[in-house]
Amino acid sequence: MKLRVFVTRPIPDAGLNLLRRAKHVLLDIYEHDKMIPRKELLRRVKGSTAILSILTDKIDKQVMDAAGASLKIIANYAVGFDNIDLKEAAKHGIVVTNTPGPEIAESVAEHTIALIFALAHRIAEADRFTRAGKYHGWGPQMLLGTDVIGKTVGIIGTGSIGTGVVNRLYDGFGVKIIYTDLTRHPDIEKRDLAKYCTLPQLLKEADFVSLHVPLLPSTRHLIGTKELKMMKKTAYLVNTSRGPIIDERALITALEKKQIAGAGIDVYEHEPNIPLALRKLPNVILTPHTASATIETRQSMSRRAAENILAFLNGKIPPNAIKQ
């Protein structure tokens, strides 16, 4: 008897090919490269043993009930899993997995550093300026940015991504690095890569503040009006973690009032909706949740999701099972 695996959106083929080759798997993939409508999701999951979900899918009690007693594993195609109701999954006896890996951390760390340099050198503004035909010759004060060398970079959260940013910046960019986290990071401190400080200290000292924490009740709106006022007027905020870590309204106000110099944002509080006020600001670089969007990383995530499903179907513990 074949076990049904429903994939909520087409993903890179590395993982899909693994599932296709498995003789005991009946693969069903939502045909369109867009978020699956809720009604369609509830209809299509019925009778599935496994759901391979995307971070934009809300997998809650309603979905689990719609799938029925056959549902045994939800494999999330993402490192984060705040889109899945873990308590409800535990009640249903459903295993939940994600797709962490060194290549994902590397891609997001690279994107973070790209945003830091793009903000400092006003790359996006310069691109828009040039495309608009406003460049009429070199000028000594045209689009002045700021050097990154000699500045202080503050890292909030030193998991694999935050640590990746620390390592890359320390190795070649001539910056001072400070960090904060719930617990100290002995390896970072032993190698003298970064200095630990409290969140208020970091916000007051850093020229660039980069967020790398998971979305939890304790981190929702970690950066709000109070925290933004602590930052230097010349400082930049970068977020490649999760949108609700920042109070978006407070950020817009701070940017409009020039309480901080700018922001590089890859994730948003109410994705995919991005406030018009934020989109209109010239001192902001916005990317569409693409920090991990490299061919290598997305193929690896696809493969990991499939491997989690196949391990479970073969009676083994999935390598990336989440503690519930």
DSSP 8-state code for residue 257: T
The encoded tokens of residue 91 equal 């009640």
Among left, alpha and beta (phi > 0; psi -120 to 50; other), residue 41 is alpha
* Separation of alpha carbons 9 and 18, rounded Å: 16
For 219, other C-beta atoms within 10 Å of its C-beta total: 18
77 has which bridge partners?
Answer: 54
| Both structure tokens of 13 | 């083929």
DSSP state of 74: E
**Which pair of tokens denotes residue 268?**
């948003």
- 3-state secondary structure (DSSP) of residue 154: strand
**Cα–Cα distances in Å, from 272 out to 35, 56, 57, 98, 269?**
10, 9, 12, 21, 9
Q: Which amino acid is located at 232 in the chain? A: K
Q: Which two tokens stand for residue 192?
A: 């003298």
- Is 115 within 8 Å of 139 (Cβ atoms)? no
Calpha distance 18→24 (Å, rounded):
12
Burial label, 221 (beta-carbon count in 10 A; 0-12, 13-18, 19+): middle
Identify the residue whose tokens are 């190795």: 171
Q: What is the rounded radius of gyration, in angstroms, for the C-alpha atoms of the chain?
A: 22
Which residues are catalytic, by number? Answer: 242, 271, 289
**Do 83 and 311 contact (CB within 8 A), yes or no?**
no
d(CA 292, CA 109) in angstroms, rounded, equals 9
